[in-house]
């Protein structure tokens, strides 16, 4: 048991010794990049704790701090307008952490100090500075330093990228030249500025005088306007006072009139109330008399009217029943009369039938007799209109003959109508009848003569 524990403790001690001997760690600050290389895959660390195998891996550093480089042209450089100048500038650089460029910086500046890197890139910066100076004119360089700085940065950026660096800033400190051209440009500018300053001062004095005059004018205008406003307000105040006095007098008159009107109205109201009370008293008396009159006169009349109404209703109902009974009796009587007429008509029809049979037996003589029995009635009807005339006065010639002719024609039309309607030819019957009579008379005469002859 004890031996096994010793064995375990020994193993732990060996492990600790192995770890202490072979494993180590390093803390990488944020302004540096650690490159761990050796067995296995290369690693890059920044701002963290890194563990590596001692004796099998190594740690190299690349400084990420910004460093500055003083760039100056030792020899004067001619500008585009052939003026020799010297330029003194300061450039701030830093390692570019962009993927691909960082590896280039590691190859060039791994474990190197910023001062060493500045020495390496100084010649590159100076060469690009000279190139840009030769492309620009002196006046442009001096007056537009920002443009000059931007051009230098743009020109040097590709070269620095090939080295794994980038430009943070580029600032020109000074320009120098031996011919005092810059100083002369300054003198010209000084003169120009002095001139502009004098003009500006004169303009300022002018503006001051104008401002003073305008101020005096405005002050005078304000004073006049103030006095005018005061006068207008005093005038308005006087007018207002007069208006208020007129208004006060008017209101007083209105108040007096209103008082009198109100007094008159109160008087009328008192009279109206008094008259109204009398009117109410009279109306009550009238209503009392009316009620008494209605109780004495109208109510009995209404009772009589109701009684008469009931009596008339009963009479109307009795009359209605009586009329209904009379109508039924009349209907019964008419029915009986109709039956009697029917029986009489049937009897007359039978009599006519029998008469017709008898007349058929009698022959033409009977027909002629009936015809001639009706002629007086026809003549009477023809003459009846004339009987209603008092006298007839005939004017003109032949009117009497014409009148008698029309009467004869009317009679002839009646006879013709009888012939057409009854089928009786009066003329034929008369001729036949007369012929028979004549023949009968002749025969009777002959018979009498024969009898007389025989007697003789």
Please identify, among 127, 149, 179, the residue that sits at the C-terminal boundary of a domain. Answer: 179
The string of pLDDT tens digits covering residues 322-357 is 888 877 777 777 777 777 777 776 777 777 677 666
The string of pLDDT tens digits covering residues 283-300 is 777 777 777 766 666 556
| Whether residues 106 and 135 fall in one domain | yes
pLDDT greater than 60 at residue 398 = no
| Whether residues 113 and 31 fall in one domain | no
What is the distance between the alpha carbons of residues 436 and 44, in angstroms, rounded to a whole number? 183
| Whether residues 85 and 174 fall in one domain | yes
| Whether residues 435 and 368 fall in one domain | yes
The answer to whether residue 409 sits within a structural domain is yes
Phi, psi of 59 (to 5 degrees): -120, 125
| Whether residues 88 and 174 fall in one domain | yes
Average pLDDT over residues 238-259: 81
Q: Which residue has the higher pLDDT, 311 or 363?
A: 311
Provide the terminal-to-terminal Cα distance of the chain, rounded to the nearest Å: 230
Domain that holds residue 426: 363-455
Distance of CA 8 to CAs 1, 2, 21, 166, Å?
A: 11, 10, 20, 57
Looking at residue 165, what is its pLDDT? 92
| Whether residues 70 and 44 fall in one domain | no
| Whether residues 117 and 40 fall in one domain | no
The beta strand positions in 96-241, using DSSP E, are: 165-176
Looking at residue 436, what is its pLDDT? 54
251 token code pair = 């209101």
Distance of CA 337 to CAs 15, 172, 189, 326, 341, Å?
A: 164, 161, 161, 16, 6
| Whether residues 367 and 399 fall in one domain | yes
Q: Which residue has the higher pLDDT, 379 or 195?
A: 195
The tally of domains found in the chain comes to 3
| Whether residues 46 and 132 fall in one domain | no
Query: Which of 400, 427, 431 is CA-nearest to residue 416?
Result: 427
Distance of CA 149 to CAs 14, 66, 145, 208, Å?
A: 64, 18, 6, 43
pLDDT greater than 90 at residue 90 = yes
| Whether residues 169 and 76 fall in one domain | yes
pLDDT category of residue 407 using cuts at 50, 70 and 90: low
Please identify, among 143, 161, 179, the residue that sits at the C-terminal boundary of a domain. Answer: 179
| Whether residues 86 and 39 fall in one domain | no
What is the distance between the alpha carbons of residues 255 and 249, in angstroms, rounded to a whole number? 10
The answer to whether residue 27 sits within a structural domain is yes
| CATH code, domain carrying 83 | 3.30.479.30
Contact of 67 with 118, CB cutoff 8 Å: yes
| Whether residues 147 and 172 fall in one domain | yes
């Amino acid at each position: 048991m004890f031996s096994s524990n010793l064995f375990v403790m020994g193993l732990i001690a060996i492990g600790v010794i192995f770890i202490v001997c072979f494993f180590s760690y390093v803390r990488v600050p944020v302004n540096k990049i650690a490159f761990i290389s050796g067995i296995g895959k290369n690693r890059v660390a920044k701002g963290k704790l890194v563990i590596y195998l001692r004796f099998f891996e190594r740690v190299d550093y690349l400084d990420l701090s910004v460093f500055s480089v003083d760039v100056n042209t030792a020899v004067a450089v001619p500008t585009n307008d052939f003026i020799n100048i010297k330029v003194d500038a300061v450039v701030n650089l830093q390692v570019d952490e962009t993927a691909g460029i960082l590896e280039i910086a590691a190859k060039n500046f791994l474990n190197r100090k910023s001062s060493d890197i500045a020495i390496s890139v100084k010649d590159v910066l100076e060469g690009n500075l000279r190139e840009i100076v030769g492309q620009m004119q002196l006046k442009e360089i001096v007056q537009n330093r920002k443009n000059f700085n931007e051009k230098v940065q743009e020109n040097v950026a590709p070269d620095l990228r090939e080295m794994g660096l980038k430009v943070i800033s580029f600032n020109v400190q000074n320009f120098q030249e031996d011919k005092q051209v810059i100083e002369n440009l300054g003198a010209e500018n000084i003169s120009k500025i002095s001139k502009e300053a004098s003009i500006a001062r004169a303009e300022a004095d002018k503006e001051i005088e104008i401002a003073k005059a305008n101020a005096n004018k405005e002050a005078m205008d304000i004073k006049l306007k103030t006095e005018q406003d005061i006068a207008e307000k005093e005038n308005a105040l006087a007018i207002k006072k007069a208006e208020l006095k007129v208004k006060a007098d008017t209101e007083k008159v209105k108040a007096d009139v209103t008082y009198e009107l109100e007094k008159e109205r109160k008087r009328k109201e008192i009279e109206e109330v008094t008259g109204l009370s009398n009117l109410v008293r009279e109306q009550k008396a009238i209503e009392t008399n009316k009620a008494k009159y209605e109780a004495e006169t109208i109510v009995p009349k209404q009772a009589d009217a109701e009684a008469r109404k009931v009596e008339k209703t009963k009479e109307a109902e009795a009359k209605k029943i009586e009329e209904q009974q009379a109508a039924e009796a009349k209907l019964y009587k008419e029915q009986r009369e109709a039956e009697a007429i029917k029986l009489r008509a049937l009897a007359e029809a039978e009599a006519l039938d029998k008469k017709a049979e008898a007349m058929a037996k009698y022959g033409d003589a009977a027909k002629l007799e009936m015809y001639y029995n009706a002629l007086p009635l026809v003549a009477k009807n023809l003459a009846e209109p004339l009987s209603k005339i008092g006298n007839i006065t005939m004017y003109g010639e032949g009117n009497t003959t014409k009148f008698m002719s029309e009467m004869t024609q009317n009679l002839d039309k009646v006879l013709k109508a009888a012939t057409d309607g009854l089928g009786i030819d009066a003329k034929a019957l008369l001729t036949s009848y007369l012929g028979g009579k004549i023949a009968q008379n002749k025969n009777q005469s002959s018979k009498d003569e024969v009898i007389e002859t025989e007697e003789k």
